[in-house]
Structure 1
């Protein structure tokens, strides 16, 4: 059964992280793309897909065939557009961040529930290959009881001319939302949270550095991003009572997409053996084992496979409402009160 959908926004998010994956799915049809300012040259790249382009959002809202709308507009618009789509009986997939406050998030979830619609954040990094490798190791159980996990995504971008003054345009809401969601999907809601959030390149701009620590009953998770790291940390470091796992390199889908290499290309996003993570552990028989863990295949399009099943067949959503609320609550509290700080959830 075909699902007709529309996309609001036609920038890098839509053209790089959504459309290349959606257009491979035979059961999903992109009927409309709305953009307030038409980009005619860019539209030509998609002329073979029978997509209608418009600068009138009513064309989308009044089309009863459209059952799903993906929102790829700036963060400040997410709540209003998602609310508008729900009121017009459209299910919604929202790019990060889902909303800028917990209050907004709750309102959207309540509205969707009242109308029998599906709404969910676009947490594509649940299908990062590096994260899938981490899950594979944790699920295998060879590390024993987990005691510590560290997750880094760092850059070296010394110049900052962005002038992103609003907190939701910074690193915490822009990137932390993904690696925080990964952890919440694995371990659920933490008991306490430590924050150190700041702008280290230009104090006048939104944050470009954060360290967030999540405290669970018997272990701790550290999440960190900085834009002034010349030699990057491991992407993941995890320690258990019987061993450790390290993964140096990040998922490569973005690298390929930036080069114009599309998901249907053979070898798209695959790690080389040099990129594989390394595990060292003591087996249940007392033997010390060291081995490389082949990286699973990442695929951001699996978010669309999930929301298709949720809308058409009422299957569970990839990101359930409790996980979404936990993530937004933790993000929002980063900007309330002084930093650094520690809070109890």
Structure 2
């Protein structure tokens, strides 16, 4: 069964993280793309028009089209809630770029509306299909390291900034990148008991955060997620310590780098890790011997979010990101910005 869909927004997100993957999927047909101005990617516009995709600046045209079953929202974060609400009210399933919306209350409104209408609403948590994260998940699933004790996750860059940036928290680094690193931990371990936050402007002299360090505490286990724009010498992407050893993985998923270089999904070696970037295991086996092992990195594929969405829409499979996980992610984000300065929030109440 083919699902007919549309995109809202025609910026970097649509052209980098969505359309290249959709072109590889035979069970999804992009019928329409809406954008308020189509100011960018003129060559791509011509390409999609030639392929029979309708480009429109009239949002009501998309809402009224009875063929369109699924709409992906790729516009700025502050627009997500209202656009998703309108689409659900008009009978469209929605896949929303991260963050899903700004507050847990908004998320509940959208999820309840989707249930009322018999529709599906879900965020595009594509970094559940990062190769480095899939490698970490494999280590945990196999149980090489015994009981996990601590994970440290980094999503760092070196991007010097000279201009001041002011704005609302949904446009800061914690909402923009923190949603990825937090969602990865929630997908693995569920809701934490307590969360420690350090969210602040580091080089930005305005009010928008460009740094976060957040610790998620579970029973006997801690997950630390960090992001900074002033890291010249990279940390490992993941460090995992367990009762039987450790796992260290350097290097981020290669899909984004390949896409920037115009190496597209479906091309040879797209998204593949170099052997030098494989994660390294150092663990004690059941005989008490210490084993050193490089673990080949699974190949990531952001298009698998769409595969999961199609399975939900056509076969009734559970959503890739459950409603409980969506609300947990948003509550953790929201609690982080409620108080200025380092603070701890208890989620067991």
TM-score by length of 1: 0.98
SS in 1 for 2:4: strand
Measure how far apart 1:95 and its partner are.
Answer: 0.1
Counterpart position of 1:249: 251
Q: Which moved more, 1:277-286 or 1:162-171?
A: 162-171
Select the residue among 263, 276, 282 that pairs with 2:278: 276
The reply to whether residue 314 of structure 1 matches residue 331 of structure 2 is no
Runs of 5+ unmatched residues, structure 1: none
Residues 31-69 of structure 1 show CA distances to partners (whole Å, capped at 9, x for unaligned) of 000000024444013234321000001111101110000
Q: Is the counterpart of residue 28 in structure 1 residue 28 in structure 2? A: yes
**Match in the other structure for 2:12:** 12
- d(CA) in 2 for partners of 1:337 and 1:97? 20
**Match of residue 260 from structure 1:** 262
Q: Which 4+ stretches in 1 moved above 3 angstroms? A: 39-42
Q: 1:42-61 counterparts in 2 under 5 A?
A: 42-61=44-63
Q: Where do residues 83-162 of structure 1 align in structure 2 (5 Å cutoff)?
A: 83-161=85-163
- Would the alpha carbon gap of residues 163 and 182 (structure 1) be closer, same or farther in structure 2, given more than 3 Å must change? same
Name the CA distance, whole Å, in 2 between partners of 1:160 and 1:93: 35
Q: C-alpha separation between the residues in 2 aligned to 1:328 and 1:110?
A: 15
Counterpart CA distance in 2 for 1:48 and 1:24 is 17
1:231 corresponds in structure 2 to: 233
Residue-by-residue CA offset, 1:234-287 (whole Å, 9 max, x unaligned): 000000000100001110000000111101110001011101000000001111
**Pairwise CA distance, 1:123:** 0.3
Q: CA RMSD in A?
A: 1.0
Is 2:297 aligned against 1:328?
A: no
Partners of 1:122 and 1:303 within 8 A in 2: yes
Residues in 2 aligned to 1:155 and 1:106: alpha-carbon distance in whole angstroms: 33
Give me the whole-angstrom Cα distance separating, in 2, the residues matched to 1:96 and 1:199: 21
TM-score by length of 2: 0.97
Asked if the contact 1:164/1:170 (under 8 Å) is kept, the reply is no
Map of 1:282-297 to 2, 5 A cutoff?
282-297=284-299
The answer to which of 32-41 and 169-178 deviates more is: 32-41
User: Is the 1:238–1:246 contact (alpha carbons within 8 Å) kept by the matching residues of 2?
Assistant: yes
Structure 2 equivalent of residue 166 of structure 1: 168
Deviations 1:56-114 (A, max 9, x none): 01111101110000000011100000000000000000001100111101100000011
Pair 164,122 (structure 1): closer, same or farther in 2 beyond 3 Å:
farther
Q: CA–CA distance in 2 between the matches of 1:205 and 1:268?
A: 38
